[in-house]
Amino acid sequence: MNKLKTHCKNIAILGSTGSIGTQTLQVVRESASYKDADGNSQELNVVGLAAGRNAKLLEEQIREFKPRIAVLYDEKAAAELKQAVQDIDVKVLSGMEGLIEMSRMEDCEMLVTGIVGMIGIRPTIAAIETGKDIALANKETLVCAGHIIMSLAKKMGVKILPVDSEHSAIFQSLQSRSPSFTEGETVPGAGNSEIRKILLTASGGPFRGMKKEDLAGKTCSEALKHPNWNMGAKVTIDSASLVNKGLEVMEARWLFGVPVDDITVVIHPQSILHSAVEYTDGAVVGQMGTPDMKLPIRYALFYPERKYSPDRRLDLFEIGSLTFEKPDTEVFKGLALALRAAKTGGSMPTVFNAANEVAVARFLKNEIGFLDIYETIEKAMDAHVCVADPDVGDILEAEKSTHALLGGF
């Protein structure tokens, strides 16, 4: 009788209680039943889990996945969690030190960055420094520190595998040129001279097609109703304002080594074509699928293999037609401001992102209107004296001074 061999990939998840984190854990559950052609099972083993303050859900996750380290950023919540899991062999940590300690865990092979915001920068750097591959959802890290992350990843010989659905689609489209992983490539297939253009798709969000005067009175609950995707609150508001697409242009620029001018944003309301690459010979290679984040998460976790998914399949007959439009950057000014920040470079993307984080937090508390998000970002960018080639200290300083200018959260 054949003895089944098991290869377990050890992973840690930053932001395990959020939308990306919980979907990653769902993929982990399903992975237990994956078998390769020889009948070997290929499981994922969770060695670390981290979140902000949701002690209740993290406790449930600890009981189910049995990580060695669990972190809550909030100290009080971490103390409650420690008390609640006294009966389990798990090290409970808190604060940035805790996030960094988990990201550096010796037996971990991959860090999934499902955390929201710039807080992800230092733990991501810690993971790369200790040789872990990154399954990257936390786009803010690349937006603000892309130059640092990508060159460090190259130096350490680690892979950055995109989780954002558009970037995963581009990554998958790049495999048509570079079908298998080549030693030393940070993002396999990226940066080759045969790429002419990246076509980055966007649903257009719940306010697509509206005029400026329509946007003025839009409330937080209206902005949270995304037509196709079920995501965390911040990224859902960013999708409605098209700020998210701007952040994704900056993310793509670093991941795939293409100039900002070679990235074209295309509004595609059905969210079926998740993005595409146009090659020099005119071929456009894209990836389609149902709008479900578990597909890109699964691809990043198991790259270069494709694993069986029990989820709903794409039915082109049911969809019928796919449509494409140009974005209206005069109404949805968030995209225009992002392109300005991307082209200015240096510390400007950090200021764009930090101002947006403040504005979205205020919009979610109904303190400001929808269009004030753009006003807030523009005010911060106009006031900023850009630092070229910022280090992590400069980036954190740019974030701090933006918060100070805007009066904090």
Ligand X SMILES: NC(=O)c1ccc[n+]([C@@H]2O[C@H](COP(=O)([O-])OP(=O)(O)OC[C@H]3O[C@@H](n4cnc5c(N)ncnc54)[C@H](OP(=O)(O)O)[C@@H]3O)[C@@H](O)[C@H]2O)c1
Q: Which residues contact 115 (CB under 8 A, 6 or more apart)?
A: 14, 15, 18, 50, 123, 138
What distance in Å separates the CA atoms of residue 134 and residue 153, rounded to the nearest whole number? 9
Q: Which one of 206, 227, 232, 291 is in contact with ligand X (CB under 6 A)?
A: 232
Give the interface segment with ligand X, choosing from 16-24, 142-150, 260-268, 331-339 (CB under 6 A): 16-24
Under rule CB under 6 A, residue 15 binds ligand X:
yes
Under rule CB under 6 A, residue 136 binds ligand X:
no
Q: Which residues contact 152 (CB under 8 A, 6 or more apart)?
A: 125, 128, 129
Under rule CB under 6 A, residue 17 binds ligand X:
yes
- The amino acid occupying position 131 is G
Structure tokens at 116: 């929201």
Site string for ligand X, 164-193 (x = CB under 6 A): x-----------------------------
Q: Which one of 185, 227, 229, 279 is in contact with ligand X (CB under 6 A)?
A: 229
* Choice between 347 and 353, CB closer to ligand X: 353
What DSSP designation does 325 have?
B
What distance in Å separates the CA atoms of residue 384 and residue 247, rounded to the nearest whole number? 18
Strands (DSSP E) contained in 31-190 are: 41-51, 69-72, 91-94, 110-113, 133-136, 160-162
Under rule CB under 6 A, residue 20 binds ligand X:
yes
Q: Which residues contact 396 (CB under 8 A, 6 or more apart)?
A: 121
Give the interface segment with ligand X, choosing from 131-139, 195-203, 302-310, 360-368 (CB under 6 A): 131-139
Under rule CB under 6 A, residue 240 binds ligand X:
no
Q: What is the DSSP string of 184-242?
A: T-SSTTTT-TTEEEEEEEE---TTTT--HHHHHT--HHHHT--SS----HHHHHHHHHT
Smallest distance, ligand X to C-beta of residue 113, A = 7
Site string for ligand X, 46-75 (x = CB under 6 A): ----xxxxx------------------x--
Under rule CB under 6 A, residue 396 binds ligand X:
no
* Choice between 246 and 269, CB closer to ligand X: 246
* Choice between 73 and 299, CB closer to ligand X: 73
The set of long-range contacts for 401-405, using a CB threshold of 8 Å and a minimum separation of 24, is: 402/350, 402/351, 402/354, 402/355, 402/358, 403/354, 403/358, 405/379, 405/380
* Choice between 17 and 42, CB closer to ligand X: 17
Q: Which one of 10, 11, 18, 42 is in contact with ligand X (CB under 6 A)?
A: 18
Smallest distance, ligand X to C-beta of residue 103, A = 11
Q: Are residues 55 and 81 in contact, defined by beta-carbon separation less than 8 angstroms?
A: yes
Site string for ligand X, 245-284 (x = CB under 6 A): ----------------------------------------
- The amino acid occupying position 398 is A
Under rule CB under 6 A, residue 381 binds ligand X:
no
Q: Which one of 70, 93, 137, 354 is in contact with ligand X (CB under 6 A)?
A: 137
Residue from 244, 4, 255, 63 nearest 150 by CA: 255
Residue from 246, 255, 23 nearest 134 by CA: 255
Under rule CB under 6 A, residue 95 binds ligand X:
no
Under rule CB under 6 A, residue 146 binds ligand X:
no
Under rule CB under 6 A, residue 138 binds ligand X:
yes
Smallest distance, ligand X to C-beta of residue 165, A = 6
Residue from 407, 290, 394 nearest 355 by CA: 407
Residue from 204, 117, 145 nearest 393 by CA: 145
Residue nearest ligand X, Cβ-based: 18
**Binding stretches for ligand X (CB under 6 A):** 15-21, 50-54, 73, 99, 114-116, 119, 137-140, 164, 229, 231-235, 293
